[in-house]
Structure 1
């Protein structure tokens, strides 16, 4: 559980750095899968530092997934929005409302409940076709990103956010299907494609779409589906008689994260300064 929470801390802090870099990058081609946009963002030190934190967070995530059920790790990763909110309130002087502070507390309470109710990870390997299904899903995420570039802003942001969440969800499931380096295992390629697709779509969503809509879609995509796969096919269970408590904790943690969805991207420094001074931030044409 400490590794899962450490992963959320890394991802939450990284998102502040990456979002600022993404918004400072020149607009891309309009496609949801824009490699050039990602390359321009990576060349900024803030995005590179965020990627380093993401790498550390991924290592901690893998350790957690080898011990805890997917539903627990997924909820912990969604709590990275609470981390982002707190980091933004300190580093960028962003004011959190009373409701948002309450949401941070709700996320913490949900995670504490999950920690009490969670059992160990399941020991089932799933059906043989599950690895291929994950690879197919990862490829479908890339196709989705390429297809939604011409949608209206709000619909595009939701589609890209959901797609990025599915990509990260593929990573969560694939980690459980990999036992050592086996180049014949489709789950290995699913992990690589799913993670890359998730980053591509999320970068495009943050740079060009509604932050709140995109982040809400990502949270749903990376938590609900993988949790169901873990329970149905991989044998994830709760402690004896505490299934109801796990469901409650998962629901509360994800609901709290959704309430903080606007922190999927931290405000730009000028906007943060305006909010700190009690002024309305300037209009954002990309939101």
Structure 2
């Protein structure tokens, strides 16, 4: 039960952080551009600082959940943060979503219930030999690949490639948090999984920022969420032995698909800039 509550808390933190970021963005001058001035304004905003605190809290809750739940459930729960952002954007910012997005929320909710019914908390199985070191190698390869893509001329295509790479980084971070060995604190700094997770997370943040400068925000959000959710779940199944309860594998697979489809349906609410749009559009209508 603790793991499921942690997943729910992480989703709430993620969604609320997006909305708070949107609130902070709305308070910036219309001519604000990228640079030190914008950073100073954001860091002086209580809403933005609260968003950062929620991001940190959400990661901590996800880490707690990953110690006892399979990756496919935790990753799906993280994706549901987009639904939380959608609901809060409607309640707080006056955003609007149509019938399609409403059905997306329904699908996501049904999928989360199905996933909760398909698993039971259990200690994480020890990873196969070489998995932690393999994660570190994968993170290094991802860094090289991301650098090469970023060096290409800016285009929507390279932006989406960077978004997919960012999703891979987040997936590596999740798997590393899932398998890092906490039983021997004295040797924690020697665990390759710890370094792989740190590198994957840093790369993911940087690649996301680069992707958003080259491709539409909604497309970047969708590509990142889809890659992170699916790749993380697949790695958990293949490398750690994550499984649903006996006889509930089909339920877990269908529920996972519903959560992913629902999250992608409301993907535009996954970025603060996109949340601002509905009100602005109505003002010009």
TM-score by length of 1: 0.84
| CA shift in 2, pair 1:116/1:252, >3 Å | same
| CA shift in 2, pair 1:38/1:137, >3 Å | farther
CA distance in 2, matches of 1:38, 1:5: 32
Root-mean-square deviation (CA), in Å? 2.7
| CA shift in 2, pair 1:271/1:175, >3 Å | closer
> Of Structure 1 and Structure 2, which has the larger fraction of its residues in helix?
2
CA distance in 2, matches of 1:19, 1:204: 19
Query: What residue in structure 1 maps to residue 77 of structure 2?
Result: 76
2:193 paired with 1:187? yes
CA distance in 1, matches of 2:147, 2:52: 23
Gaps of 5+ in 2: none
1:218 alignment partner, one of 224, 228, 233: 224
Residue by residue over 1:64-91, the C-alpha shift from the partner in whole angstroms, topping out at 9 and shown as x without a partner, is 1111110000011011111111122122
Gaps of 5+ in 1: 29-35, 281-287
Q: Give the aligned length.
A: 272
Does the 8 A contact of 2:13 with 2:55 survive in 1? yes
TM-score by length of 2: 0.84
2:98 paired with 1:97? yes
Matches within 5 A, 1:1-287: 1-18=4-21, 26-27=33-34, 43=43, 45=45, 46-121=47-122, 123-149=124-150, 150-180=152-182, 181=185, 182-206=188-212, 208-267=214-273, 271-277=277-283, 279=284
Does the 8 A contact of 2:160 with 2:219 survive in 1? yes
Q: Which runs of 4+ in 1 moved over 4 A?
A: 19-25, 36-42
Deviation at 1:20, TM superposition (A): 6.7
**Secondary structure at the residue paired with 2:190?**
coil
CA distance in 1, matches of 2:264, 2:278: 21
Stretch moving more, 243-252 or 228-237: 228-237
Does the 8 A contact of 1:230 with 1:236 survive in 2? yes
| CA shift in 2, pair 1:163/1:270, >3 Å | closer
CA distance in 1, matches of 2:237, 2:263: 22
Deviation at 1:21, TM superposition (A): 6.0
| CA shift in 2, pair 1:165/1:109, >3 Å | same
Deviation at 1:54, TM superposition (A): 0.8
CA distance in 2, matches of 1:196, 1:185: 18
Does the 8 A contact of 1:153 with 1:210 survive in 2? no
Does the 8 A contact of 2:269 with 2:275 survive in 1? no
